[in-house]
Amino acid sequence: MARLANSEESLRRVDSRQNTRVRELRRAFAEAAQNQQGEVAIEGMHLVEEAIRSGLRLRTVFFSDSAHQRAHRLLPQLSAQTEALLLPDSVFASAVPTETPQGVAALVRVKTWTLENILARQPVLLVITAGLQDPGNLGTVARSAEAFGVTGLLLGERTVSPWNWKALRASAGSLLRLPVTQIKLGKTLPDIKAHGVRVLATSSHKGTVIPEANLRGPIAIVVGGEGAGVPKDVLALADEVLVIPQSPKVESLNAGIAASIVLYEAARQRTVVHHSGTVNRDV
């Protein structure tokens, strides 16, 4: 295990907005994508601690002057290979997108996944997004996906970046751990079906009601975007359409909530609790 950077001496002062690391942080937040080193930008004490707890490599951690006390809590958790910088509040604020920064940010390397890598994980339970544009909803979907045993999150066209800071924050760290990759729906759905995975699309109008649906075995659950739902061409590729029973007074459910309900039911059907108290996945 690497030696821990556990003292105030490991903090290096940086006062310029044009510092190379500060510019890298600013660019990573603005682009909401992995940089050439495979890193993304995260902000907030909780997310940084989640990244550490998840065993991810943090190249640089940034602290603002006003969050200096938080550095004392975080420094002992950092590897000696992690660079720790202390910035004036104004410099820190210039690099992060939040209006009220928490004073802690980092550049963290995340794993790159391919569709083949994800399909190899068993038992297959995938979530596919089709035009999910709200970062808060994507974060909610990811958080529920991790909670209910999803083996991969596939992001179709017009879906917000998983490295959007709002999505990362809403996921409470799940997007840092889940296998995630971006796909072309028209090409990928047939490929998934060829691997023996049933594609189930969600709808707010008509379809098989969730309690009557068979959610066992290798499945992929398609979640549509806000308002428009799952596009018609994607619905045409689905093996089955699922609907959540709800009051006619409500036009549709929030995409994140709808996905969470379906995933809970999938997890319930796929889980066998033995008399010994052990829990196994029923595939």
Length of the chain: 283
What's the pLDDT tens digit per position in 196-209? 999 999 987 788 99
CA separation for the pair 118, 100 (Å, rounded) = 37
Is 283 a residue whose pLDDT tops 60?
no
115-281 under CATH 3.40.1280.10, yes or no? yes
Please tell me the predicted confidence (pLDDT) of residue 274: 38
CA separation for the pair 13, 71 (Å, rounded) = 13
Q: What does pTM read for this prediction?
A: 0.90
Q: What would the mean pLDDT of 134-156 be, rounded to a whole number?
A: 97
Apex CA 165: angle with CA 80 and CA 260, to 5°?
Answer: 110
What's the pLDDT tens digit per position in 162-175? 999 999 999 999 99
Please tell me the predicted confidence (pLDDT) of residue 7: 55
Radius of gyration of the chain (CA): 21
Please tell me the predicted confidence (pLDDT) of residue 214: 96
Please tell me the predicted confidence (pLDDT) of residue 249: 67
Q: Among 27, 191, 145, 36, which Cα is nearest to 94's?
A: 27
Is 213 a residue whose pLDDT tops 90?
yes
Which residue spans of the chain are classified as CATH 3.40.1280.10? 115-281
Is 124 a residue whose pLDDT tops 90?
yes
Please tell me the predicted confidence (pLDDT) of residue 253: 76
Tokens of 180: 């995630």
What's the pLDDT tens digit per position in 51-80? 999 999 999 999 999 998 888 889 999 998
Which residue spans of the chain are classified as CATH 3.30.1330.30? 8-109
Banded pLDDT at 10 (limits 50, 70, 90): confident
Banded pLDDT at 227 (limits 50, 70, 90): confident
Please tell me the predicted confidence (pLDDT) of residue 271: 86
CATH architecture of 8-109: 2-Layer Sandwich (3.30)
Between the CA of residue 222 and those of 98, 147, 207, what are the distances in Å? 31, 17, 13
